[in-house]
Every structure is written in structure tokens, then in C-alpha cells.
Amino acid sequence: MSAESPRLPLASPDIGPLEEQLVVAALRSRRLSLGPLLREFEALLGERLGVEHVSAVSSGTAALHLAVRAAGIEAGDEVVTTPFSFVASANCIVYEGARPVFCDIDPVTLNIDPEAAAAAVSERTTGLLPVHIFGYPADLPALEAIARRHGLWIVEDACEALGAVHDDGVAVGARGHLAAFGFYPNKQITTGEGGALVCPDAATKARVDSERNQGRAPDMGWLDHVRLGFNYRLDELSCALGIAQLKRLDELLAARARVAAWYRERLSGIEGLGLPCPDSAGARRSWFVFCVQLPGDVDRAGVIERLRARGIETKPYLPAIHLFSYYRERFGYRPGQFPVCEHVAERSLALPFHSRMRESDVDQVATELERAIGRVRAGT
């Protein structure tokens, strides 16, 4: 089996006839940017989340960058965030000359630990940037209490969490904070590339809409740019794809939850294997990936190689951001500072996961994973 074309890839977007129909219609319209589909996509996403103001942009990273700018970040500020995330959640802080201050994570949810976050706040801290990791809602009520106590803003990285719900019944992204979503092809819905930012009010959306379009004036006049801006627009083809995906969101979420349930059932008997935490109280995860934590005595690279040889793609997910070369060299982070994060990062493994997986696919992954763990342990 070729390692370049695994039979069971890590992710695969769920694209159907409606997506094809709407994208072709967008092509035929000849209006490929800044057209009516942008406004329709934003309105549909806002309706789904229960919010009024949404700005669609070119990526989740772009949404995060515009979010911290809208929050008022300045050079020299400190922002408390998690080291267990995709690197964009920290990079967006660095883009503006500020410093990401990492703190450790909860060993169960893998989200930022509110007690650790509170301990990391200093006189230079201006904001908190929690991540709803792997689609599980972060403890926003606890973080909101910290923010109120210290006068901090909150930006939510919800790029992995469309469809997730907090234990008080509020949708992730709908608590009144700036909240960024991402729509890369492995996400719950995809626009190819793309993202969106939930804004707390109309004035913030107007600013974000301007900044995503090179800082143009509110009337979109070509002759005046009223602020520093970026090319963070989302094109009409992407919006057409996103509209179709949003119309199918319940179907896509249910399919991913079904695959996750199969995995949980098949993997529960593997000794020492850590599974994603179940939903607790009223909180509901939106399944982005299915990541396990390998037993501590098992070499992860060996498991990955054996699964690859059987046509199953896996990936270490996620590395600890503070141990990346750039962050160690620029900010002085070092191993041992965040032991829970580092322990999880050393053991985590993402398995093939998407809405079109069959039960037989999950059976195969589970069987081969158990076999690979056993062979690595035995040294065969």
C-alpha cells in the first residue's frame, strides 16, 4: 500500500450535489468576489450561531488576527493562551508585536486550565485567548470571571468547534466575545480555505469588514483607505461551498458523532489507550478530529509507521507550541514548563476521521491500531 495514497486518509471533506450545484452557479454568475453570496453565507452562519454580526474571511488564522486587533491588542502586551493548539492561536498575537504567555492545560478536556490561566496573569496582561480544542468547549465561565477581575478582553479560538455547545446551553462563539471559526477541508464544514469572525456589535463588524478588504472606507470607495488593512477576503466560490455545507450542518455533525461513537466502542478495550473525554453536564463537543493518547510505554513513531504500512494515515496531534524552535528562540520557552501539555503532546495521535467513514473502516483502524501497539511493545 502506497504511503502517498492511504486507503484510509486522515481527513476527507464531505462534498455532495448541493455543493457542486451552488459552486457552478457562482461560477456562472461571473461575480467571483465581494458579491451577494458573501452576505448570504455570513447571515446563515449568524443564524446558526444565534448572533447578529459575522464577517467571513480567508482563513481561521485571518479571523484570529483581525480578532486580536479588534480587541485592542498593542505591541508589548501579554496575552494568556494555551500551548496545546494549532500554532495560529499564538501566531496571531505575535503578528501584533505582543507576547503569548502560555499556561498548562486540563488533563481531561485538554483545554486551557483556568487556574493556570489566572496564575499567568501579570500587570502586562491585556487579554485571554482560549482555544476550544478538538471541538470541546473551554471553561468560558471561569475564564470570564478572570477577565472581569483583571479587566481583560477575551478572544475565542473556535476554529475547531462549530456546532459545540457550552454546559449552559450557549453555542460556542455566541457568548458576546470575538470568536474565530475556521473552515479548512478537515473541519466540520469547509469552504476550501476560509474562516469567519463573530463580532460583538455592528461597529466592530464594520471595522473588520474594512480591514479584511485592504482598509477601504465603509462605502467601499476605491479612492480612500481609512485604516491599515489586509487581503483577507473570502471569495464567492468559497461562500457558495460554505452555504451548501451550512445547509447540511446537522447532517454532517451527526455523521461525525456517529463515527466518534464507533471509535469509542471499538477502542475502549485497548489497555492504556486514552480516549477523548465524554461530554459532561450540558456541554456538547462538536467532533473535529478523533485523537487518542497512546500508552506511555509505546513508541508513537513506530505505531505511525506500522499503520502507514497498512494504508492508514495518522498524525501526531498536536505538538506543543512552546517547544517549536521559533518560540523557544524568541521567547525563551523550554521543556518542562507545562508538563501536562507536554505529556499529552508526546502521546497524542489523530486517527482517520471524517463524516463519510464506514463502520468497517473504524473496525479496521481499531484492529490495526491494537495490533501495532502490541508489535511495538514486543519489538517486532
Annotated catalytic residues are 187
- In sequence order, what are the beta bridge partners of 315? 350
- Name the amino acid, one letter, at 2: S
Length of the chain: 380
H/E element holding 316? strand 315-316
Residues 112, 122: Cα–Cα separation, whole Å:
17
| 376 backbone dihedrals φ, ψ, rounded to 5° | -65, -45
**By C-alpha distance, which of 263, 188, 239, 153 is closest to 11?**
188
Residues 138, 167: Cα–Cα separation, whole Å:
10
Residues 291, 278: Cα–Cα separation, whole Å:
13
Residues 45, 186: Cα–Cα separation, whole Å:
18
- Secondary structure class of 312 (helix, strand, coil): strand
- Name the amino acid, one letter, at 46: G
Residues 149, 361: Cα–Cα separation, whole Å:
49
Q: Which residues of 40-74 are buried (b: 16+ CB within 10 A; e: fewer)?
A: bbbebbbebbebebbbbbbbbbbbbbbbbbbbebe
Residues 275, 82: Cα–Cα separation, whole Å:
21
Cis peptide upstream of residue 318 (ω within 30 degrees of 0):
yes
